Every structure is written in C-alpha cells, then in structure tokens.
C-alpha cells in the first residue's frame, strides 16, 4: 500500500474557483481509480493560488487480476462463427473451453486480465483528469496555442508532480512532463534575491521554463519532493502553506487578533477569509487605518468599498468603548498616520451600539522585510483614494434633492416593453395610495390630519430615485439603502426614509418582512406592479429560468400580506394594475372606477370585455385570462411557501378553486380551518359523502362538474345569496325519512355556514358543515337516488347538488386528496 | 522603496524601454492617433492576429474624454499614459519577466505585496477577450495582464500575452505622491502638472462643453465611410485607423452627452463592425485562415 501525490502547478487560479476545483479533482480522480478497480484510503485535496494538490493514501501496487468469461457459439457451429468469436475475445481456438449449457456443449472463452501496475494506471489517469477538468473558463497559451486544439487550463499549467511512494509516475500532456520538482513561494523562495533594484540581463540558461526572451536573475527556486509524506512540509519550508484550511485559520485568527490588539473587534466575514486564502500562499494579516473623517460616509459604503474593491476586513469599536482609547491603539504596522483629524464624527444615521472604526485588516502574501510597514502604507493610500471617491459621491448626491433625482428616472428604461422607471414609479405610487385607502385594509388607520397617506405617496414617488445617484451607480447593491440615507439627510420623515430603504424587502426566504405600514405599502405596490407587468408582456418564469425574479416577488408579496395581515382583493388589484398602463390620470381613472373599486364578480358581470374602451386601442378581452394566470401563479407560490408551515397544498387548491377567494389572509384562515376539519372523523366522513354525491351527480350528468371559476362558486364564497335557490322547490311527493332529514339539515346548516363565512368564522362554518355528516350518510344508506319515478329522481339529484353546493361554500372538496 | 531617489516619470519609461528592449522587444513610439487604450494600437490589435511571432513594447497616450476632471481630481485624467508590452506567443516565464520589470523600476517584491488577482478582459468594440489578472501592488492595481484568446472575433493562434502598466499610478506609487500633478517628471524639477495640468483643464472644457457636436457626428460618419472605402480596396491598416478614429469621435460624443442610452448601443455596434471588418481584412490580406 502506497501513497500517491499529484500536484498541478499553474499561474494564479482565481480564488473563487478553487473550492470547486478541489471537489472536481477529487471526483475525477476517484472516478478514474474506480474505473481501474482501485480504491484509495483517504483522499486529501488542497489548493493555493498556484497549485491544486491531491494525496491518495494506501493505494495498492497493482490492480487485481481479473478473469472474465464469454459464452460463444455451440460446438459444431460454423467455423466462421467460432473464428469470429475467437477474434472478438483475442483468444485462439485451442484456448476455448467447452462447457455444458442446458445439455448442449458450448464454447467459452476465458480471458485472464493480469493486474496492472497502479503506476501505469495513474500515468494514464493524470492526463485524462487534466483534459476533462471542468474549469468555468479556460484558456490556451504559449507556443502550443498555434493550434486551437492545444491544452486548455484555467491559466497556464506549468508543472506536474506525480509520485507513487518515492517513485515518479511518468506522464506527459501537451509537452508537459511529470517530475519530482515544483516551486516554492513566488518571492520568499526565489533563486536570486529580489532586493537588488537593478536586474541585469542574465546569462542564458538551459531551463525549459525560460523563454527565448532571456531568462532572468530571479527565477523561482525549484524544490524536489520526495513523496506524498514530505510534500506539505517541504513546501512549508519554502513559505507555501498548501493546506487552504490552514491558511484560512491563519487569516481568520490573525485578522481577529490584529483587530483586538488595537482594542477593536473584527467584523467577521467568512467569504473574505476564503477569498484571501485563495489569493495567498503565505498569508499575513496586517492592520491599517484610514482617516476618521471618512466615517461621515455610511458604514455600509465603507464596508463595501473595503470588501469588494480591496478584499479588506473592517473593524468596529467594542461595545461601550470610549472611542478615544481605541483611537490611540488604532495604528497598525507603525505606518505614518493619516492627517490628524479628530475622531469625533457625526453619529451614524442608524444608531448602532458598535460603530465602525477607522481601521481595516488586509492580508499580504509575504512576510515583508520591514514587518509590513510599506505594505500597510500602500494599502492605506489605496483605500483612502477609494474612500475619497465614495465621500465625493456621498456629498455630490446630496446636492440634488431626491425628487430631482427622481425626475431623471424618465431617462431609464425599465424594460423595453414596459416604459421607463418613471412610469413604473407612477404606477407604484398610484397603487400604494389605493391600497392604503381601502376600507379595513389592515395597514394602519390614520386619524384625521395624520400624515400617513401623504407619506405613502411621497415614499413611493421617491423610492427609486437613488438609482440615478453616483453612489448606487458605483455600488448597485446599495440601492434603497442610499435613498434612505439621502431622505434622512433631506429631513424627510423617518417613515419615508425607512420605506425608501426597505421597500425591496423581503429579498430572500430568510429576509425580514417590513412592518412599518408605509414601507409595507410601497413594497407591496412595487412588487405587485412588477409581477403584473411582466405577466402582461408574457415574460413568465419557465422551469429554472426566472430572469425577473417573479417567483421571489410573489413569495415576498404573500409574506408581506400574511405577516402584516393586509386585506386586499387581489383579483381586481391585478386587473387594475394592468389597465393602469403608464400610470397617467386617464388610465388611472379607469383602473380605479372600473376595477379597483369593484369586486371580481362585479367586474366580471359588468365589464364589456369585447367592447373597445375609448382609452384603449384594443378591447381588453384577454384580461380575465391573464389575471387568471396570475392567480394560478400566486396559488403555486403560496403552496410552496406554506409547505414548510405544514399547510396542505390540496387544501389551498380547494379554496383557490372556488374562484372567488382572492384575499390571501382570509384564504389562508379558511385553509387552516379546513385542514383542522378534514383531519377529524366528521371531516373524513363528510368528504366521503361529498365524493359519493359528486360521483352520482357526475354520472347522471345532473349539474356539470363544479366549475373552477363559475359564478356558482363565486356566490358560494361571497356568502351572499343562497347557494341553492334553484333547487328549493317544494316536493311533489312525500320524502322518505332520511331524505327529509337531509333537507332539514341543509335548511338548518346553510344559513349557519353562510353567516359564519361572512363573519370569517371558518371553524364555525366547519362545525355547521359537520352537522350534515350524519344525514348524508343516512341518506345514502336508506334512499335510492335513481328512482324509477322521474320526479323523485330529479328531486333527489337536486338535493345532492344542494348538498354539494353547501359544502362548496367552504371549499371545493373535489380538490381534496384522500 | 530603496534609499535611492525614486525614478522620475520619464526614467520609469526609459527603464522599461531598456528592460524590454534587452529582452528582444521592438521598442515602438506612440501611435500618432487618439485612442482609448494601448490595446487599440495596431501593434497590439492587428499583430495579435495570425501566426507570426511579435514582441514589442511602447508607451501609448490614452484619451478618455469622459474621465476628464478639469485638472481637479488627483487621479483622473482625460489623457494619460499606458506602457504596453505584447509578447507573442506568450513565453512560459512571462510572469517572471513581468515581475523582474517591476524590480527594474524600483519595486522590491520582498517589501511590497504583489498579487495576481483574477480579472478577465473583454472588449466588445474589438470583438476580443482574454483571461488574466490585474496585478496588485499593496492593494493597488498597477498592471493589466492578459492572455488574448480572441481578437476581432478570431481565435488567437498563437496566444499573445499583453501587459499594460498604468504609468501614472505606478509613478505615484514609486514616488510616494498623492496627486498625479505632483509627479516628478524628469528628475530635474519639472512636474507632471507643469506639463499637463493646463492641458487637462482646456481639454476637459473642450471635451465636455465646446466640441462641435454637429461636426463630430459628421466626422464619425466620414471615418466610418472611409473605413468601408478602405475595406473595399483591401487595405486593412488604413481601414483600422479609421475605425480607431470613429471610436475616439464616439467617445467625444459621449462626453458631450449627446448620445442617448438607446443610440449608444448602435454606435458601439458600428465601431465594432468597423474594427472587426479591419481585422478580417487583415487576416485575408495575409492569407491566414480563421
């Protein structure tokens, strides 16, 4: 059993690609070994910016010998067939064995494959792994690139170390041969010192890695590796820590220590730890400082500038620290302090206990000869330049009021088919204003003279203004946040500033849902508009593609509505938003009068879809279908979103199928009551009775299957009007006892169900329904529906239909599983 | 830095000339046309095409009208210098050659943190892309390092390595000054500001406020037409010059703020077609297959 070492040396591999590269190397290696019938003990993979390494322990010296048999033609078969079989299996005729197969002597070829040297297997596997390596982006280079067929790698591949035990695994790919030697740290382990500031043209050397342009005096020193066992240590001696986790630990702990030595707390950032480990072979965290005057700029901006552009960690003051104390310790590396500016800065806009300190931690790749002073000084200068850009943007943006920034939104195309961002903003504002004006909407009921409605209006009209600011141009991820800051600076109310800042929320599953009513209104209106408008132009999510994040937007809408208990009729709102077009007053009055201020039923009964409206060049015939599509999309997302909470998807369908329920809060309350009910014995039995009734009705063709969105369902849901007026005819015969009992039970239950639903007392509605369980069971027991007497048969079918409709007041039970 | 007086701006250029000249590069003089980057120089773009080896180095003035700041920003200029090295095919020790060139201009890599940070390059205008890095010195980007993979829509066969040093940044770093205008230009009392500050002021004003947009639109169309005229006559080099000209005029129009977002894409598309057409004609003229 022997250990195997593979190192693939290259020019700097992008940090972000290294984790996947390690996993790919292990996967490809394991697959190659498995194909040869080899199994390694442990497999370790490491990466640095310049190398990928794999150590496989305990590989056997040889693969196992295998013996395979192949069944051939029977004895006496034509020579041609037998010879063909021999050829195919690489045996001669006298090597064939004859065995009995079901009483028939048959030829067999026995092929013995001797074990192969593992070294030979590896020598073939290595080029195969390199060729198959799935880099996200790869390139050609050097002389070989005269052909486009030349080897591709993430950056030029310059060396292969492949050792099985102490022995070389000889292999070659595209002119590159495996060997024992690699290189150490780029600067710590160079042949000649870099200290000289003059590089003379050196004498030509016979090194294949040097170009015809003339090799240099500072060529990397080569290191000879003995075997897998000494690899990591030999590299360590040459200032390379090949284990990425070790480097990550050094950065994580070193950065924290650099901060705490200065009396500060590091702002942890695991992404930065990994990235810096992917950029260094010998990481050395160093503390630097910046001018505290930059702390006027919002913390998020400083942090982003440091992180994104420079890959620096930032630091905070410890809780309750006296800033003066920490300031004394803030210098790192003994570099020259920046111009002395008092640490007193304006308080952070969002009051935080722990404030950002004017310090950062960078990660160098060398143990510098001066202890890092020059490196820190250089990095401080770069950060200062970046921060002065940020400060410049911060101050410049504030010279223009948000409302003036917002005017420029008419120059920004939101989507080529959907007009400008200014159009969108106007639609969002109109919708937000409408949402908060709805009766009993659950937002907030302002008292007379309250500024709430005005704040909603203003926040909605300013919510996208920061998109044209310099700062958001530089850091798009600061959208919203910057608008919030600028609103505060302008003296807008806190509610407006919060709404501008948070109206993109909730962004993901884990993101908090806003609760401030102004924010909720703007956020809801913005997302409702986005989803509606993209559906309108046919940009629907398909499969894994959702370029406009509409699924996420609908989940966010559901969460905003449900967690804040916002009451709104989705159907008319979605329809009105489509009709709203660019938000201009002409369309607005139609959206408001014909859609928003009506219920779905009123719209459907009243609107003349096929008539051209004077405001619209073409009639709105396709609108109901479009809104239906949107409602289905909402139902789908709601099911996904509620799955985790244990809400049954079939019950959501059952309530949605009524067609009239478009208030998500009421819908979910109904679903939850229904779920509790159908899990009781009464529920189970009532469902069974329902299905039986439904089957009979279907078979008899009496009353088509309950239409998903029929007005019948609408009536049932709205709880207004009787669900059975048509069937309430006096009987022409004396009903049987069970029949009479069911009629009485329905007479009694129906008003109760209707009243309970109207009062949104869904558990009561279920209880009222449960009273039908006994009578329906008894009815099926005792009464023949399909009576010879036509009058009886029709009356009983009508009774069953009445029963079904009564149940449908609560939900479409045909959607319920089980 | 070493104890010695740091190199002046012109000494940095001379050192780089010496260094790359010693290593077999043809030292060229700047191209006599306005261009946005050294990559536009025919010694880069056109010479990156085809199989012939090519090693050249030159300083190239770059013009980016929209980056002008009237001489008021210490880091941003509408006219600055790049030092450009093109090595084709890319030599196996190209990184080492580059690092030694930094030592040659006074950067000690045991004192300063030099890093190769992923930065892929793409120029839609030239139909070109490559992989490489931005080279950091103590966190500052000092060089763009690219292995060209495609140019003018053609695969590079072989691949050229391109090094683009930001000369002002490097010099500010080496000399330890905070404003580009304070750079020691010649080691004899002349600063960068003495030479270029007034230029920046006047050119910014012209770029942003004065340039006659009507004649610029006219120039653009004329350059485009002349490029096509050259292409019709199988003259790829003059055609390419007209493409460079069109590209610069477009940049001026941008600075004047007279090109809308929608128009922008269409103008860029026109410049791209001219540049790609020139590359195509260059390949054809030399009898090289794609």
Which three-class secondary structure string do you get for A381-420? Answer: HHHHHHHHHHHHHHHHHHCCCHHHHHHHHHHCEEECCCEE
**Measured between CB atoms, which of B90, B113, B137 is closest to A141?**
B90
**Measured between CB atoms, which of B95, B97, B114 is closest to A213?**
B97
Greater model confidence, A701 or B96: B96
CA–CA min distance A12, chain B (Å) = 6
Beta strands B54-63 and B26-27 are parallel
Cα separation, A641 vs A553, whole angstroms: 12
Cα separation, A271 vs A813, whole angstroms: 50
Contact B114, B133 (CB under 8 A): no
Strand order of the β-sheet with A97-101 is A66-74, A104-113, A97-101
pLDDT at A338: 40
Q: What average pLDDT does the segment A698-706 reach?
A: 62
Q: What average pLDDT does the segment B225-246 reach?
A: 97
Contact B154, B179 (CB under 8 A): no
Contact A267, A255 (CB under 8 A): no
Q: What average pLDDT does the segment A498-519 reach?
A: 93
pLDDT at A610: 67
pLDDT at A192: 53
Report which listed range, A526-540, A562-576, A685-699, B217-231, is most confident. B217-231
Q: What is the pLDDT of residues B151-205, one digit of tens each?
A: 999 999 999 999 999 999 999 989 989 899 999 999 999 999 999 999 999 999 9
Residue B106 Rama label (left phi>0; alpha psi -120 to 50; beta):
left
Provide the b/e sequence for A573-587 (b: ≥16 CB within 10 Å): bbbbbbbbbebeeeb
| Residue partners of A206: CB distance under 8 A and separation at least 6 | none
Choose, out of A139, A144, A189, A306, the residue to mutate when testing the contact with B (most B CBs < 10 Å): A139
Contact A128, A27 (CB under 8 A): no
| Nearest alpha-carbon partner for A710 in A702, A718, A699, A700 | A718
Min mean pLDDT across A219-233, A332-346, A668-682, B67-81 is at A332-346
pLDDT at A257: 97
pLDDT at A612: 64
Min mean pLDDT across A97-101, A519-523, A552-556, B13-17 is at A97-101
pLDDT at A542: 87
| Nearest alpha-carbon partner for B174 in B14, B18, B1 | B1
Q: What is the pLDDT of residues A136-152, one digit of tens each?
A: 999 999 999 999 999 99
Statement: residue A709 has pLDDT above 50: no
Statement: residue A438 has pLDDT above 90: no
Q: At what angle do helices A762-770 and A737-758 cross, to 10 degrees?
A: 180
pLDDT at A619: 59
Outline where DSSP puts E strands in A571-624. Answer: none
Statement: residue A336 has pLDDT above 80: no
Greater model confidence, A342 or B281: B281
**Measured between CB atoms, which of B92, B103, B139 is closest to A158?**
B92
Average pLDDT, chain A: 86
Cα–Cα–Cα angle for A689, A691, A695, nearest 5°?
Answer: 120
Using the Cβ of B177 and the Cβ atoms of chain A, whether some distance falls under 8 Å is answered with no
Using the Cβ of B14 and the Cβ atoms of chain A, whether some distance falls under 8 Å is answered with no
Residue whose entry in the numeric block shows the structure tokens 């004065």:
B210
Res. A203 pLDDT band, cuts 50 70 90:
very low
pLDDT at A712: 39
Cα separation, B264 vs B270, whole angstroms: 10
The helix/strand/coil state of A130 is helix
Within 242-301 of A, beta carbons closer than 8 Å to B belong to 279-280
Greater model confidence, B3 or A492: A492
Segment holding B153, helix H or strand E = none
Res. A156 pLDDT band, cuts 50 70 90:
very high
CA–CA min distance B112, chain A (Å) = 5
Within 191-220 of A, beta carbons closer than 8 Å to B belong to 193-199, 201, 208-220
Report which listed range, A54-68, A160-174, A586-600, A778-792, is most confident. A160-174
pLDDT at A722: 39
Residue % of chain A over a pLDDT of 70: 87
pLDDT at B262: 63
pLDDT at A345: 38
Res. A604 pLDDT band, cuts 50 70 90:
confident
Q: Do A366 and B118 touch (CB under 8 A)?
A: no
Q: What is the pLDDT of residues B122-161, one digit of tens each?
A: 988 888 999 999 999 999 999 999 999 999 999 999 999 9
Statement: residue A218 has pLDDT above 70: no
Choose, out of A138, A144, A145, the residue to mutate when testing the contact with B (most B CBs < 10 Å): A145
Q: Which residue of A has its CA nearest to B169?
A: A382
**Measured between CB atoms, which of B104, B113, B133 is closest to A375?**
B113
pLDDT at B148: 97
| Nearest alpha-carbon partner for A557 in A664, A669, A466 | A664
A114, burial (CB in 10 Å: exposed 0-12, middle 13-18, buried 19+):
exposed
Cα separation, A675 vs A337, whole angstroms: 68
Q: Do A382 and B109 touch (CB under 8 A)?
A: no
Choose, out of B14, B75, B76, B92, the residue to mutate when testing the contact with A (most A CBs < 10 Å): B92
Q: At what angle do helices A550-564 and A664-678 cross, to 10 degrees?
A: 80
Residues from chain A contacting residue B99 (CB–CB below 8 Å): 186, 218
Min mean pLDDT across A602-606, B166-170, B204-208 is at A602-606
Average pLDDT, chain B: 94
Res. B3 pLDDT band, cuts 50 70 90:
low
Compute CA distances A797 → A739, A746, A790, A792, B216, whole Å: 11, 14, 11, 8, 84
Cα separation, A742 vs A672, whole angstroms: 27
Statement: residue A581 has pLDDT above 50: yes
Statement: residue A548 has pLDDT above 50: yes
Contact B257, B65 (CB under 8 A): no
Q: What average pLDDT does the segment A795-815 reach?
A: 90
Cα separation, A174 vs A144, whole angstroms: 8
Q: Which residue of B has its CA nearest to A149?
A: B157
| Residue partners of A80: CB distance under 8 A and separation at least 6 | none
Cα separation, B104 vs A165, whole angstroms: 43
Statement: residue A23 has pLDDT above 50: yes
The helix/strand/coil state of A173 is strand
Backbone angles phi, psi at A370, to 5 degrees: -105, 15
3-state per-residue secondary structure call for A183-197: ECCCCCCECCCCCCC
pLDDT at A645: 84
**CA A510, A515, A517, A518: dihedral to nearest 10 degrees?**
-50
Q: What average pLDDT does the segment A352-367 reach?
A: 89
Q: How many residues does the structure list for chain A? A: 818
Res. A721 pLDDT band, cuts 50 70 90:
very low
Q: How far is CA A468 from the centre of its chain?
A: 27
Residue whose entry in the numeric block shows the structure tokens 């408008």:
A533
Q: Is the ipTM of this complex over 0.90?
A: yes
Look up residue A667 and give its two tokens.
């819908």
Contact B128, B49 (CB under 8 A): no
Q: What average pLDDT does the segment B228-253 reach?
A: 97
């Amino acid at each position: 059993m022997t250990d195997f070492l593979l190192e693939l040396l290259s020019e700097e591999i992008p940090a972000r690609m290294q984790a996947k590269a390690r996993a790919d190397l292990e996967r490809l290696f394991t697959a190659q070994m498995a194909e040869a019938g080899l199994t390694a003990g442990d497999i370790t993979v490491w990466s640095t910016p310049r190398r990928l390494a794999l150590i496989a322990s305990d590989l056997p010296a040889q693969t196992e010998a295998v013996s395979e048999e192949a069944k051939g033609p029977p004895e006496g078969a034509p020579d041609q067939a037998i010879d063909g079989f021999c050829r195919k299996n690489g045996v001669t005729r006298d090597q064939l064995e004859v065995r009995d197969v079901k009483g028939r002597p048959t030829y067999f070829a026995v092929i013995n494959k001797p074990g192969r040297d593992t070294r030979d297997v590896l020598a073939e596997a290595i080029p195969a792994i390199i060729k198959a390596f799935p880099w996200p982006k790869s390139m050609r280079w050097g002389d070989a690139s005269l052909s486009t067929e030349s080897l591709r790698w993430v950056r030029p591949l310059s060396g292969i170390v492949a050792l099985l035990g102490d022995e070389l695994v000889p292999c070659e790919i595209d002119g590159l041969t495996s060997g024992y030697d690699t290189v150490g740290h780029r600067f710590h382990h160079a042949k000649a010192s870099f200290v000289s500031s003059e590089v003379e043209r050196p004498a030509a050397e016979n090194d294949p890695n040097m170009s015809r342009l003339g090799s240099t005096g500072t060529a990397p020193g080569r290191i000879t590796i003995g075997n897998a066992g000494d690899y990591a240590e030999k590299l360590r001696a040459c200032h390379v820590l090949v284990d990425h986790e070790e480097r990550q630990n050094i950065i994580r702990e070193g950065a924290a220590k650099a901060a705490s030595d200065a009396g500060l707390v590091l702002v942890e950032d695991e992404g930065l730890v990994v990235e810096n480990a992917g950029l260094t072979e010998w990481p050395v965290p160093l503390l630097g400082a910046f001018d505290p005057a930059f702390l006027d700029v919002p913390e998020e901006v400083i942090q982003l500038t440091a992180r994104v552009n420079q890959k620096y960690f930032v630091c905070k003051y410890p809780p309750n620290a006296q800033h003066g104390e920490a300031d004394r310790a803030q210098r790192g590396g003994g570099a020259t302090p920046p111009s002395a500016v008092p640490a007193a800065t304006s308080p952070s806009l969002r009051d935080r206990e722990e404030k950002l300190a004017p310090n950062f931690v960078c990660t160098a790749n060398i143990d510098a000869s001066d202890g890092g002073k020059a490196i820190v000084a250089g990095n401080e200068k770069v950060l200062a330049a970046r921060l002065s850009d940020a400060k410049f943007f911060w101050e410049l943006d504030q010279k223009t009021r948000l409302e003036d920034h917002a005017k420029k939104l008419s120059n920004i195309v939101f989507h080529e088919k959907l007009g400008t961002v200014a159009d969108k903003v106007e639609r969002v504002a109109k919708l937000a204003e409408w949402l908060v004006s709805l009766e009993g909407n659950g937002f907030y009921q302002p008292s007379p003279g309250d500024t709430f409605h005005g704040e909603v209006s203003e926040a909605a009209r300013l919510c996208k203004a920061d998109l044209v600011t310099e700062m958001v141009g530089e850091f798009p991820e600061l959208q919203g946040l910057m608008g919030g800051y600028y609103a505060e600076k302008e003296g807008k109310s806190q509610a407006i500033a919060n709404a501008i800042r948070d109206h993109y929320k909730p962004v993901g599953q884990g993101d908090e849902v806003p609760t401030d009513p102004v924010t909720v209104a703007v956020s809801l209106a913005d997302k409702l508009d986005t989803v509606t408008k993209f559906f309108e132009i046919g940009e629907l999510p398909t499969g894994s593609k959702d370029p406009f994040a509409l699924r996420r937007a609908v989940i966010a809408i559901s969460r905003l509505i449900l967690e804040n208990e916002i009451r709104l009729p989705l159907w008319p709102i979605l329809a009105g938003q489509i009709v709203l077009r660019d938000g201009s007053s002409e369309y607005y009055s139609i959206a408001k009068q014909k859609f928003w201020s009506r219920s779905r039923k009123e719209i459907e009964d009243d609107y003349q879809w096929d008539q051209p409206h004077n405001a619209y060049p073409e009639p709105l015939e396709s609108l109901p279908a479009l809104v239906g599509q949107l409602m289905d999309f909402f139902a789908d997302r709601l099911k996904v979103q509620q799955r985790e909470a244990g809400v049954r998807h079939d019950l959501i369908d059952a309530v949605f199928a009524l067609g009239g329920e478009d208030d998500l809060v009421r819908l979910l309350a109904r679903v939850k009551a229904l779920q509790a009910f159908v899990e009781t014995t009464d529920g189970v039995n009532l469902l069974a009775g329902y299905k039986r009734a439904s089957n009979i009705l279907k078979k008899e063709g009496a009353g088509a299957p309950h239409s998903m969105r029929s007005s019948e369902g609408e009536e049932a849901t709205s709880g207004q009007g009787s669900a059975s007026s048509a069937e309430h005819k006096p009987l022409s015969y004396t009903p049987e006892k069970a029949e009479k009992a069911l009629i009485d039970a329905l007479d009694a239950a129906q008003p109760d169900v209707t009243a309970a639903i109207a009062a949104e007392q869904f558990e009561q509605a279920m209880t009222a329904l449960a009273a039908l369980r006994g009578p329906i069971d008894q009815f099926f027991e005792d009464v023949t529906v399909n009576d010879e007497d036509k009058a009886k048969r029709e009356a009983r079918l009508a009774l069953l239909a009445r029963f079904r409709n009564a149940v449908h007041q609560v939900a479409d039970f045909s959607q319920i599983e089980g | 830095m070493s104890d010695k007086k740091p190199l002046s701006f012109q000494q940095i250029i001379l050192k780089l000339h010496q260094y790359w000249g010693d290593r077999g590069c043809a030292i060229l003089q700047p191209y006599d046309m306005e261009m946005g980057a050294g990559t536009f120089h025919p010694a880069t773009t056109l010479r990156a095409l085809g199989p012939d080896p090519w090693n050249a180095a030159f300083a190239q003035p770059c013009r980016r009208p929209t980056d002008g700041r009237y001489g008021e920003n210490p880091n941003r200029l509408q006219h600055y210098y790049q030092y450009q090295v093109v090595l084709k095919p890319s030599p196996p020790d190209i990184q080492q050659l580059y690092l030694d060139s930094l030592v040659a201009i006074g950067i000690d890599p045991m004192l300063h943190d030099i890093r190769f940070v992923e930065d892929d390059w793409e120029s839609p205008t030239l139909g070109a892309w490559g992989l490489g890095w931005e080279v950091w010195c103590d966190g500052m980007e000092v060089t763009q390092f690219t292995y060209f993979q495609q140019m003018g829509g053609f695969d590079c066969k072989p691949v050229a390595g391109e090094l683009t040093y930001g000369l002002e940044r490097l010099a500010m770093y080496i000399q330890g000054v905070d404003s580009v205008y304070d750079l020691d230009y010649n080691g004899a009392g002349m600063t960068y500001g003495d030479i270029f500050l007034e230029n920046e002021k006047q050119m910014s004003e012209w770029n942003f406020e004065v340039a006659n947009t009507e004649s610029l639109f006219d120039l653009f169309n004329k350059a485009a037409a002349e490029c096509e005229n050259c292409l019709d006559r199988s003259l790829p080099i003059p055609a390419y010059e007209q493409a460079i000209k069109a590209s610069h005029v477009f940049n001026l129009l941008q600075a004047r703020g007279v090109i809308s977002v929608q128009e922008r894409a269409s103008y860029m598309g026109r410049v791209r077609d001219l540049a790609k057409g020139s590359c195509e004609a260059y390949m054809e003229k030399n009898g090289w297959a794609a």
